[in-house]
Amino acid sequence: MLIKRPIIALFLMPAVLIYLVIFLYPTLRAGVMSFYSIDTLTAAFKEWKYVGIGNYSDLIANQYFRGSVWNVFVIWLVGGLIIFVFAFLFAAILSSGVRGKGFWRSLIFLPNTVSAVVLSVIWLQYIYSSNYGFLKTVFKFLGLNTLASVQWTDSEHIFGSMVIAYCFGSIGYFMLILQAAMDRIPTDFYEASVLEGANPFHKFFFITLPLMRDVFRTTLMLWTITAINWFVWSATFGLAEQSTTTPGYYMYMKVFGSSTNSHTTTEVFNVGTGAAVGILIMIAIIAISAVMNLFFRKERLEY
C-alpha cells in the first residue's frame, strides 16, 4: 500500500493542479474582488477601492437585484414542475416498450441539439411573433381570437413566454437521464407487483420513484444549477427588461455592461458588485445542494 500511494499521488497531481488553476484560483480572486469597487475588469490592484461588505449590502438593498432573485426562484419552481412532469411522463412512456422508442426519444431530445440562442430566436420570431407566429396562426384557426391577439413578447407576457420556451428545449435532456434510470430497474419487480394487483399508478410511485431516488436528486441538482445560472434566455428574450433579468444576467451587466444603465440611475458599472453576485450564486448552489443531500439521503438499494 505504501508503494502505491506515490503512484496514486503522481496520477492525481495533474487533475488537482488543473482544478486549482481553473476553478479554485478564480473563485478566490472573485471572493477578494467582491470586497472592492472596481471600475474595469482589467484594472490593476492598486486601482481597486476597498468597500468591505458594501457591494453585498448594496445588492440586498437593490430592488432590481431582488427582483432578479425572485425571477430565478419562479423559473426554478414553475419551470422545474413543467420540465419534470413531462420528463417523467415521456420517460415512463418510452420505458414501457412503446414501438419506435429510438425515434421518439431522438425527436424529444432534438431541441437540445440546437443552440440556445438559435432556439430562443426561433421562438421569438416564428412562434411568438404577433404578425405571423405559429401560436397566432393556430389560435386563429381554432377561432380563439382573444388568444390570437395576445402579444406574447410584451412586458406583461415575456417572462412566461421565456420560461415556456426554455422548458420546451430542456425536457429532452432530463428525460434521457430519467429514462436511463428507469430502464435499469429489473422487470421482475413490475411483474411481481402486477400479480399483487398493482396498477400503473402504484408501480410508478411505489417502485419506480423509490428506486430512482438518487438519480432524481442528481437531475434536480442539475436543474437547480441551470436555473440559478440562467443567462442566455434572459439576455435574448428580455433584452435587459427587469421582468426577465436573473442574477446571472445582472452579474454580466455589472462586469461587461456599460456604465450607464437604462433601468435606474443607481445601476453603474462595477466589477466588484458582479463578483459579489457570483459569490452569492455559488453560496446559494452549495446551500441548496446541502439541503438536497439532507432530504435525499443516499439509498443502499439503487439501479
At 3 the pLDDT is 57
Q: What is the DSSP letter of 127?
A: I
At 118 the pLDDT is 83
Q: What is the residue type of 167?
A: C
Annotated domain spans of the chain: 51-295
User: Which residue in this structure is represented by grid cell 481597486?
Assistant: 48
At 262 the pLDDT is 44
Reference 270, options 28, 27, 34, 26; nearest CA is: 34
User: Which residue in this structure is represented by grid cell 444576467?
Assistant: 249
Q: What is the residue type of 49?
A: K
CB 80 within 8 A of CB 227: yes
Residue 37 has φ and ψ, to the nearest 5°, of -100, 120
Parallel, antiparallel or unpaired: strands 36-37 and 49-50:
antiparallel
At 136 the pLDDT is 86
At 266 the pLDDT is 43
234 is written with which cell numbers? Answer: 434572459
Q: Sign of dihedral through CA atoms 57, 59, 62, 67?
A: negative
Q: Which fold does the domain 51-295 belong to in CATH? A: MetI-like fold (1.10.3720)
Give first-to-last CA distance, the chain, whole Å: 32
Q: What is the residue type of 86?
A: F
Reference 55, options 260, 268, 259; nearest CA is: 268
pLDDT tens digits for the chain (303 residues)? 455 777 888 888 888 888 888 888 888 989 999 999 888 877 888 888 998 898 999 898 888 888 889 989 999 999 999 999 999 999 988 887 778 888 888 889 888 888 777 888 888 888 888 888 888 888 888 888 888 888 888 878 888 888 888 888 889 999 999 998 888 888 888 878 888 788 878 888 888 888 888 888 889 989 998 888 787 777 776 555 677 788 888 888 888 865 444 444 345 678 889 899 999 998 998 898 888 888 776 655 555
At 264 the pLDDT is 42
CA 2 from chain centre, in angstroms, equals 44
Three-state DSSP state, 280: helix
Alpha helix locations (H) across 101-238? 101-109, 116-122, 134-141, 145-148, 158-183, 187-195, 200-203, 209-211, 213-228, 232-233
Please state the pTM of the whole predicted model.
Answer: 0.80
- Written as one string, the DSSP assignment of 29-55 is HHHHHTTEE-SSTT--GGG-EE-TTHH
At 302 the pLDDT is 53
CB 234 within 8 A of CB 249: yes
Count of residues making up the chain:
303
